[in-house]
Amino acid sequence: MKIAFIIGTRPELIKVAPIIWALKKTDISFDVVNTAQHKDLLEPYWKTFNIEPTHILDVMVSGQNLASLTSRAISQIQNYLDNVSVKPTIILAQGDTTTVMASSMVSFYNDIKFAHIEAGLRSFDFYNPFPEEYNRRIASITANFHFCPTSISQNNLLNEGILENKIFVVGNTVVDSLSKVSNSNDFDQTPWVNKLLERVNCFENVVLITCHRRENHGDNLIEIIESISQLAKENSLDLFLWPLHPNPNVKQKILGSDLSKLENVILTGPLEYLDILKVLNIAFCAISDSGGIQEEAPSFNTPVLVLRETTERPEGVTSGVAFLVGADKKKITSKFNDLKKHKIYFDRNPYGDGQASEKIVDILLNDFLIN
């Protein structure tokens, strides 16, 4: 038995890392293949999680479109298989990126079992999020193991005709990662990696903002910027922290806005994982279009205003810890002000108990021993 972990982005590594840690306790061999889909964002996280890729690909070319990215990813993952000394018996990938879709396709073409982590998420709209909804549906067609975070994602797959014996509800591995880090003895005492964050103690509340999805480029981003600007001006005792995604369609638009002139706004580069968790731990709320933030924030009793019209993570919405506000200034500001008046309290994360990785490894081991 040999497993190949195909990883291309920062969220993928965060969610796959605890599975690799669990696998290291066994005798199973594995490769860690870095497609470098988000090369710069991903690079520091290998050290954070004490994981070294065994193979490094290079799927990104400046200015390429999604079709070109997909083509390069398929070709380079295939090249890895053609040249590795011992081929994997299982290829494992997490989420809904181009790396995941390409991994699932190459697995099928080579008659290798494919394990999909975070399977069954659906927005039921191919263009929201784009192209992630399409990517994860392709992965579901191929997967031999569907590792679902919740019963809702399980039901989505059952409704699509996926065989029940291929579906496993294990929780979301992101909870495993944050639990390991946030439960360490020195979590609260660890200094900020980004020294700009030392300013958080000067404010009554901290608000974390992230925004990167393609559907929030252009006019939507302008609306979101105006919303944050209005909130920052109306809440001068609150700090609005916005780590900027390096995509120039996002970064330059934000830096060129009046947010850069406001004393209670910090615009900074991407944060280290520890800093993100420490911010979520103290944040009044998060305003984000990130799936990861939706999953992580509940562990810290932090509500999320979701900058999307729909979400493939409805558990947070139904649990009352996440609120769909889209890119609508009126909805964003109104819900923020509601939270100021009526703070929310919840006692558990609906996305998992921190044991998902161990469950996944046990299932894969059991399948190998049976077959």
| Active site residues per annotation | 96, 118, 132, 212, 214, 245
Q: Which residue has the tokens 């100021």?
A: 340
Q: How far is Cα 155 from Cα 185, in angstroms, rounded to an integer?
A: 38
Spatial separation of the C-alpha atoms in residues 232 and 213, rounded to whole Å: 23
C-alpha distance from residue 239 to each of 309, 325, 337 (Å): 26, 20, 15
Strands (E), the chain: 2-7, 29-34, 55-56, 90-94, 113-117, 145-148, 167-169, 205-210, 238-243, 265-268, 285-288, 304-306, 322-324
Cβ contact 64:72 at 8 Å: yes
Closest CA to 208 of 291, 274, 303, 128: 303
The one-letter amino acid code at 334 reads S
Q: Which of 81, 131, 82, 103 is nearest to 16 (CA)?
A: 103
Measured CA to CA, the distance from residue 25 to residue 358 in angstroms comes to 10
Cβ atoms within 10 Å, residue 195: 8
How remote is the C-alpha of 38 from its chain's centroid? 13
| Under 8 Å between Cβ of 247 and 212 | yes
Task: Provide CB contacts within 8 A for 218, sequence distance 6+.
Answer: 249
Question: Sign of torsion, CA 41 45 46 51?
Answer: negative
* Chain centre to alpha carbon of residue 144: 22
Q: How many CB atoms lie within 10 A of CB 168?
A: 19
Count the Cβ atoms, other than its own, within 10 Å of residue 261.
8
Spatial separation of the C-alpha atoms in residues 52 and 29, rounded to whole Å: 14
